[in-house]
Amino acid sequence: MTHNPLKPMAKKEETPNMVEQFAEFKELKNIDKTTMISVLEESFRNVLAKMFGTDENLDVILNPDKGDVQIFQNLEVVPDGEVENPNLQISLSDARADDDPEAEVGEEHTREIIFEKFGRRAILNLRQTLQSRILDLQKEAVFTKFKELEGQLVSGEVYQTWSRETLLLDDEKNELLLPKSESIPGDFFRKGETVRAVISNVDNKNNNPKITVSRINNQFLVRLFELEVPEIHDGLINIRAVARIPGERAKIAVESYDDRIDPVGACVGVKGSRIHGIVRELRNENIDVICYTSNPSLFIQRALSPARISTIRLDEEAKKAEVFLRPEEVSLAIGKNGLNIKLATMLTGYEIDVYRDTEMIYEDDIFLDDFRDEIDAWVIDALKNIGCVTAKSVLNTPRQVLLDKSDLEENTIDDVLEILRAEYEDDAPEAETEQAADSAPEEESQS
């Protein structure tokens, strides 16, 4: 059926009203002017294409500032009686009668189409098409915005809670889904309560954005530290590694780019003032803050804190570590329910095996830290970096191995060995006396 654009069926002012209504959408949905013009033109073209079978010969001119739209149809002039498609062609006599007295066959004739004359149904179709496109744009804008915010902290008000997830609404009423599996054990939310989480995943399946947030993601802990510790936010302290067992315990390794700043002290705060807020947010999750080091041996020792390691053997290629401890330190290294060693493994990236060091005589062994009045601290740290934490662990290590691994000078190593041996030299006479006593009966029996 061919529509007759000259037959008036509606009031002329309805089309400008449509543009004004679109301007309201622009304000509400934060659509820029260029997109506004594009969407309105697209909407007109979609409706016109259904009416005329095509929009290729139509020009749509928009002026949103003034609130008007002009539509022009370009038709091929053909001899009278040879019009096959009135939506693409116009007879010579009709073209000359339509304010184009000089029209000729084969030329293009342009005439204006008054859209509101197509009736209320056409106006309604345009409004529905426009609203549908605006809704699509809104969804695309939400997806784009939150996709860029993945891993960032967000706050939302609890709107509804189900058995498997909680629905949050942010300040712009965007929906955020917090699954039960992404909640900290012990989380319980009331309607209207404000909840913090990180955006963990954003997808747009079937143009329906779904924003999933998490409170067990490692980034949640990182963002909370950035919020509570100004030095981290300002980039003076860097978080190098994080390991979490949500609701139970966490370890975080930090380093400072400024030698004047103690990274661990800055994160904990005076009397724990900074970390207490984070612990409360995480439902009393215990947090160990340690100083990061690129030395894997020392990093593993710090990660296993509060246990004190005797010796450590590393296989850096296989990412494995064998840790030897005093019997009383083993339980500390493993931790309650194995949490400490599990977190240390996650934090360092090394598979850690713990052994009781039965080769050492623990009753008279001494930690190197106890020799700081005789041995420089940097020398002790160098020895601890290669896994020698006690006096006997140093004495039981070949001298050449100490030289090769610690990068200390020969005279420094010799001085250390002399100091450590002096600690045990009082035992030598007793041992010699015992040996002499044991050998005397044998000599008498032989005689």
Instruction: For domain 14-143, give the fold.
Output: N Utilization Substance Protein A; Chain:P; domain 4 (3.30.1480)
Segment 278-303 shows an average pLDDT of 94
Segment 69-84 shows an average pLDDT of 88
pLDDT at 253: 97
Segment 322-347 shows an average pLDDT of 90
More confident residue, 310 or 202: 202
The sign one gets for the Cα dihedral 54, 58, 64, 68 is negative
Q: Is 219 exposed, middle or buried (0-12, 13-18, 19+ CB in 10 A)?
A: middle
Answer yes or no: is pLDDT of 443 > 70.
no
- Range from 94-98, 241-245, 318-322, 358-362 that averages highest in pLDDT: 241-245
- Range from 4-18, 85-99, 280-294, 379-393 that averages highest in pLDDT: 280-294
Answer yes or no: is pLDDT of 28 > 60.
no
pLDDT at 45: 86
Confidence bin at 427 (pLDDT 50/70/90): low
Cβ contact 291:317 at 8 Å: no
pLDDT above 70: percentage of residues in the chain: 85
Strands, E, within 272-317: which ranges?
286-291, 309-315
pLDDT at 3: 41
Confidence bin at 65 (pLDDT 50/70/90): low
Answer yes or no: is pLDDT of 50 > 80.
yes
Tokens of 4: 């007759």
pLDDT at 186: 87
Domain ranges of the chain: 14-143, 149-216, 362-427
Strand 175-179 to strand 320-325: parallel, antiparallel, or no bridges (unpaired)? unpaired
**What architecture is domain 149-216?**
Beta Barrel (2.40)
More confident residue, 198 or 401: 198
The DSSP result for 76-145, as a single string, is EEE-TT--S-TTTEEEHHHHHHTT-TT--TTSEEEEEE-GGGG-HHHHHHHHHHHHHHHHHHHHHHHHHH
Among 198, 289, 275, 284, residue whose Cα is nearest residue 243: 289
Question: For all residues of the chain together, what is the average pLDDT?
Answer: 83
**What architecture is domain 362-427?**
Orthogonal Bundle (1.10)
CA distance 374 to 439: 38
Answer yes or no: is pLDDT of 352 > 80.
yes
Our measurement of the distance from residue 404's CA atom to the centroid of its chain's CA atoms, rounded to an integer in Å, reads 41
pLDDT at 369: 81
Our measurement of the distance from residue 33's CA atom to the centroid of its chain's CA atoms, rounded to an integer in Å, reads 33
- Range from 24-28, 82-86, 128-132, 308-312 that averages highest in pLDDT: 82-86
CA distance 71 to 284: 66
Dihedral, CA atoms, 433, 435, 438, 444, nearest 10 degrees?
-90
pLDDT at 304: 94
Confidence bin at 274 (pLDDT 50/70/90): very high
pLDDT in tens, 142-169: 999 999 999 999 999 999 999 999 999 9
pLDDT at 234: 93
Segment 361-372 shows an average pLDDT of 73
Is residue 155 helix, strand or coil?
strand
pLDDT at 16: 44
Segment 204-209 shows an average pLDDT of 89
